[in-house]
Structure 1
């Protein structure tokens, strides 16, 4: 999907650094929230390509469970660390902002 969309919008040079992180974001979020909706967004802003996936991951009952889940998510997204190092980008995970529920995983890839 990303490999078709980016060239169509004149961003063919961003296809290689964006395709793997997009696949990784979708795969990891689908693992953490199986059989629930995901939203993948691609934006070009400030001379960078921004990709994020918003999922419907529920909040955890206690702070220990939330931290354990956050650690598991960071380990699962370790490929994004490599992409960030190679392409000078950054990534993270945070709660989705209202009115959305769940969490948002994101990566920024400079052009």
Structure 2
């Protein structure tokens, strides 16, 4: 990944992007095992945006949904630290219809 970033003149992003992607994939794979993931990395307006979609099923029970969401946010504490240190933002949301699953994202400004 670092080589790809350097090829596009984005080598300064190597440290935070590597940590953010690793954390997003590790937490998502633990919470949604044996399912497909989709990772997108986009550079626009002098910032990098990472988006990870997973196929986590929607919980019909509101209490279970809230507990699962809290568990995911808590598990992403390292992502939070890296993104905060870099002056960025991150979040987790349900995929908009017709998509299912969870969308986790982080934006890292240059």
- CA separation in 2, counterparts of 1:21 and 1:88? 13
What does residue 78 of structure 1 align with? 77
Q: Is the CA contact 2:24–2:76 (under 8 Å) kept in the aligned structure 1?
A: yes
Q: CA-to-partner distance for each residue in 1:39-66, whole Å, 9 max, x for gaps?
A: 0110011211101110000000210000
Distance, in Å, in 2 between the alignment partners of 1:105 and 1:66 is 16
- What is the RMSD of the two structures over their aligned residues, measured on CA atoms? 1.1
1:5-84 mapped onto 2 (5 Å cutoff): 5-84=4-83
Look up the SS of the partner of 2:25 in the other structure: helix
More deviation in 35-44 or 5-14?
5-14
Aligned to 1:67, the other structure's residue is in SS state helix
The answer for unaligned runs of 5 or more in structure 2 is none
Work out the CA distance in 1 between the residues paired with 2:3 and 2:65: 36
- TM-score, L = length of structure 1: 0.92
The 10-residue stretch of structure 1 (58-67 or 4-13) with the greater mean CA deviation from structure 2:
4-13
Q: State the TM-score, normalizing by the size of structure 2.
A: 0.93
2:16·2:83 contact (CA, 8 Å) conserved in 1? no
Report the alpha carbon displacement of residue 69 of structure 1 after superposing the two structures with TM: 0.2
Q: Which runs of 5+ in 1 are unaligned?
A: none
